[in-house]
Amino acid sequence: MLKISGVPSNKDIDQVFPSQERLEKGPVVIVECFETIPCNPCYTACHAGGIQAFKDITDLPTIDFEKCNGCTMCISSCPGLAIMVIDYSYHKDYVKMMIPYEFYPLPKEGEWIKGLDRRGAEVVKVKVLSVKNTKYQDKTQVITIAVPKAHYKKIRNIEAGDSNAKS
Amino acid sequence: MIHTDILIIGGGPSGLCAAIAAAKSGAEVMLVERSQYFGGQLVKQTHMFFGSEKQYAATRGFDIGKKLVEEVKNSDNIKIFHSTTALGIYEDGVVTLEQKFESEEIYLKVQAKSLIVTTGALEKSLPFPNNDLPGIYGAGAVQTLMNEYLVKPGKRVLMVGAGNIGLIISYQLLQAGVEVAGIIDASPRIGGYLVHASKIRRSGVPIFTGYTIVKAEGTDHLEKATIAKVDQHWKPIPGTEKEMNVDVMCISVGLTPSSAFFWQGGCEMEYVRELGGYVPKRNRYLRTTVGNIYVAGDSAGIEEASSAMVEGSIAGLAASHDLGFVYEGYNREIEELLQELEGLRGGEKGIHIRRGYNKVGF
């Protein structure tokens, strides 16, 4: 499926998610990297030891979910925009998600916007908690959103404003 | 007649790296570039690069270009010539150049001890009815319009080709506020990096693998494109046609190495499908069968900019070393670069390219 349409299967997604037990402990990284391409900036960006050293530059990243503290430093470092951080412990009804975003206009804090799935279809409205856009992010902004728990595993993107206003 | 140790033709990522590497040992380097600016395709690359820190991974392409140009300009050993087209290599090794200077064109002759050819690649095209309608562009043209001239190519685009270039430009079109109606590719699988494909897909752009373009229609510009599924012989299957209302079609079906200088210089050539076409045979230090001509980057075989930069550094170091310039770190550095290159070509995605390179060594 992934190689034909660009959409990872549920099985693919399950493979890169930590256990429910770990999710409930607090923020943790999800790396949707399924192909052995020559790339390792996620490892270079990680100072917590969560993303393990690469033997070969074409290895897939291996994650030590116990060491990952969900710091988000790796999100903007991934050229494939494949990384997000999830905090399942954030609220009883909502999961906090930190995702990379490279479109203008940027969403505004407090705004409710469309939460999109891995096909770009709207799933549910999500609330923007913050927009991180410092020099370190280098225009790959990190958007923090609150997502209703029932839908969090489907959400992978957002649509801010109307698409015609993107220019 | 201009005399220099090393003449480098092409100021893209591999040419810039070759110049920096060659100048380190004290060789006198002349770098010529047809365009007004240096950096080649890097100038138009707004996305972050893959690879490792050594190849500026996670840095945006145009920022890498700026860094390399800065380094070249800071070197006393490198003379740079922009707006200068290399015209040919003559039997005595003289290379002729045409330099545009204000409204004049100046003809120059260069006698270099060695030559590094980093001329990059040419875009392939596709034959189909009405493929000459305005609105149908090569991928490079769309990127130039958008990222260099800041002009939107149109309102709604059909991307033909799901390799890295097709995927990256689709994403850049979305970022520029242009709608991408879909990406098609005759191959049954996405050719480019899946992370690129996934990020475009989750922005709502469908990817149709196993589809080809059947025809384009429109009165004075593109208005409609018809696509269809292909069978196992890559022929359109009747009855599977889909019509798409688009005013732009972007053809991104691959590149072929720009090889004219190697033919003219008398290098032994080989047709290698995996590398995109005819390429010169070369040893591991990128020296061709003509002892003083070196090759690097896409003109050596179609690959990524990261490996083009590493190849440029290898060719630059080797060319100055072979001329007798002594650089203390030579052995260590060149081995490290060769290892980097091997690393970049590792993994599943590198199988194709490794097979290609096995055919061109000597």
B181-195 per-position pLDDT tens digit: 999 999 999 999 999
Measure the CA–CA gap between A5 and B28, rounded to whole angstroms.
51
Give the CA distances from residue B182 to residues A87, A162, B16, B200, in Å, rounded to whole numbers and listed in that order: 34, 19, 36, 10
A6-20 per-position pLDDT tens digit: 999 999 999 999 999
Asked if residue B78 lies in contact with residue B29, where contact means CB atoms within 8 angstroms, the answer is yes
Interface of A with B in 60-119 (CB under 8 A): 76-82, 102-104, 116-119
Domain spans of chain A, in order of start: 2-165
User: A-chain residues within 8 Å CB-CB of B345?
Assistant: 38
User: B-chain residues within 8 Å CB-CB of A56?
Assistant: 343, 346-347
One-letter amino acid for residue A128 of the chain: V
B146-188 per-position pLDDT tens digit: 999 999 999 999 999 999 999 999 999 999 999 999 999 999 9
Band the pLDDT of A164: cuts 50, 70, 90: very low
Mutation for B interface: A1, A30, A35, A106, most B CBs within 10 A: A35
Inter-chain residue contact B201 with A119, CB threshold 8 Å: yes
A27-63 per-position pLDDT tens digit: 999 999 999 999 999 999 999 999 999 999 999 999 9
According to DSSP, the residues that pair with B270 across neighbouring strands are: B279
How much is the mean pLDDT over chain B? Answer: 96
At residue A165, the 3 state secondary structure works out as helix
Contacts of B134 (CB under 8 A, 6+ apart): B220, B221, B222
| Full set of structural domains in chain B with CATH | 2-122+255-357 (3.50.50.60), 125-251 (3.50.50.60)
Inter-chain residue contact A41 with B350, CB threshold 8 Å: no
Q: How many residues does chain A have?
A: 167
Inter-chain residue contact A3 with B177, CB threshold 8 Å: no
| Residue of chain B nearest A36, judged by CA positions | B347
Percent of all residues in chain A with a pLDDT value above 90, rounded to a whole number: 91
Closest-CA distance of chain B to residue A4, Å: 5
Asked if residue A80 lies in contact with residue A33, where contact means CB atoms within 8 angstroms, the answer is yes
| Residue of chain B nearest A159, judged by CA positions | B203
B11-36 per-position pLDDT tens digit: 999 999 999 999 999 999 999 999 99
pLDDT of residue B182: 98
Order of strands across the sheet that contains A122-132: A28-31, A83-87, A94-101, A141-148, A122-132, A112-116, A157-159
Name the burial class of residue B244, with classes exposed (0-12), middle (13-18) and buried (19+) by CB atoms within 10 angstroms of its CB.
middle
ipTM of the complex: 0.94
Position A166 pLDDT exceeds 60? no
Band the pLDDT of B53: cuts 50, 70, 90: confident
B82: which 2 tokens?
């922009």
CB-CB: which of B50, B205, B206 is closest to A79? B50
Inter-chain residue contact A44 with B194, CB threshold 8 Å: no
